[in-house]
Amino acid sequence: MTKIDWCQQLDYSNVLIKPKRSSLYSRSLVDLNTTVDFKNTKSKTTWTGIPIIAANMDTTGTFEMYQSLSPQKLITAFHKFYTAEDFITFDNTCHLDPELFMVSTGISNKDFNNLNSILASVTCKWVCVDIANGYIKQLGDFCVKLRSKYPDIRIVAGNVASREMVEELIINCGVDIVKIGIGPGSACTTRLKTGVGVPQLTAVMECADAAHGLGGGIIADGGITCPGDVSKAFGAGADFVMIGGQFAGHDESPGDIIERNGKRFKSFYGMSSSKAMETHYGGKNVYRASEGRELLIPYKGSIVTTLEDYLGGIRSTCTYIGAKQLKDIAKCTTFGLVSQQVNMSLIS
């Protein structure tokens, strides 16, 4: 019998954060640095920095992005197509801080061998096990194997969007941080092609509750359209927020600038798109559909300017709700349901 969950499912656009009395008279009083613990690592390590991550996509998870984000203590999740030789070459010219990058991997034997080569070549503290459908048994099996061989590695794994899979990955598979998001990304068409997904705010709230009860954490991955969405993700309980499309289109993104009708653009595409499959796998298999789009997005210059806008917006959120530190946003947040966020009458 078909089942329906009648509980309301919400996205970032469905809510606003209610302001509260605050003693913070300046954004400069807000501390965005956060310390995170890792229950499943053998040595029970901790990490401190600004918990925002550049997504492990071709157009954002690059060495160039790392060079711009790492001075601000943000993390770059490198895309999974870098080799050990690539890491060695970059590490020799620009020393990699192991606290501020993730090595990404799929779950095939070839992926595991490539990962082993990278971990033998550079000092690394984070591995992001990244597949589109985190509900398959093979993801958990891979994480168990990874945890057994590397007991002190911080394991990020996903993507999922429900509490039971968060619990499975943390309890039974040795995962520290679970990546949350099925279909919310701007270049993702999974929801259109499959009808599967959970609105991102609801997914983050439910999965954060499950993870925190077990001493684990989550990354809110996808659905970010503006700085306010990042604040809402933290308000919903996310430990980290991963950003793709809003970090794309910058100097740090690969590819040439494309001019159309006097305007400048850069290419951005989902990692399950036909473009990604043609680039990295020689084409799309006939038994599957493309679940991503290739887009032209406006060229934005250096990521530093965008980053200042985002970090400034989050600090401003904190002053509106009395959160002295980023980690206080969740306990200071009350969401209100809304019919619209912005007065659009003068926006063309």
Q: Which domains does the chain have, with CATH numbers?
A: 21-337 (3.20.20.70)
pLDDT digits (tens, 9 = 90+) for 160-202: 999 999 999 999 999 999 999 998 988 788 888 899 999 999 9
Question: Given this model, what pLDDT does residue 268 score?
Answer: 76
Torsion from C-alpha of 311, 31, 342, 245, nearest 10 degrees: 30
> What share of the chain in percent tops pLDDT 70?
92
Question: What average pLDDT does range 281-304 have in this prediction?
Answer: 69
Cα separation of the two ends of the chain: 47
Q: Is the pLDDT of residue 345 over 70?
A: yes
Positions marked active-site = 188, 190
pLDDT > 90 fraction of the chain, expressed in percent and rounded: 77
Q: What is the reported pLDDT for 289?
A: 53
pLDDT (0 to 100) of residue 281: 55
Give the whole-angstrom CA distance, residue 39 versus residue 267: 39
Against a cut of 0.85, is the pTM above it? yes
pLDDT given at position 279: 58
d(CA 127, CA 102): 5
pLDDT confidence of residue 58: 87
40 token code pair:
């499943």
What band does 274 get if pLDDT is binned at 50, 70 and 90?
Answer: low
List, for residues 10-21, the tens digit of each pLDDT value: 999 999 999 999
CA dihedral 214, 215, 219, 225 (to 10 degrees): 90
Banded pLDDT at 269 (limits 50, 70, 90): low
Res 248 pLDDT > 80: yes
The residues near 292 (Cβ < 8 Å, ≥ 6 apart) are 187, 188, 189, 269, 270, 271, 272, 273, 274, 275, 276
Task: Give me the mean pLDDT over the 331-337 stretch.
Answer: 97
DSSP per position, 297-342: EE----HHHHHHHHHHHHHHHHHHHT-SBGGGHHHH--EEE-S-SS
pLDDT single digits (tens) 224-239: 999 999 999 999 999 9
Q: What is the pLDDT of residue 344?
A: 79
pLDDT digits (tens, 9 = 90+) for 117-169: 999 999 999 999 999 999 999 999 999 999 999 999 999 999 999 999 999 99
**CA 48, CA 36: separation in Å to the nearest integer?**
6
263: pLDDT confidence band, cut at 50, 70 and 90? Answer: confident
Q: How many residues in total does the chain contain?
A: 348
Check whether 284 has a pLDDT greater than 50: no
Q: In the Cβ-directed half-sphere of 202, how many Cα atoms lie within 13 Å?
A: 13
pLDDT(307) > 80: yes
pLDDT score of 191: 87
Interval 98-111 mean pLDDT: 97
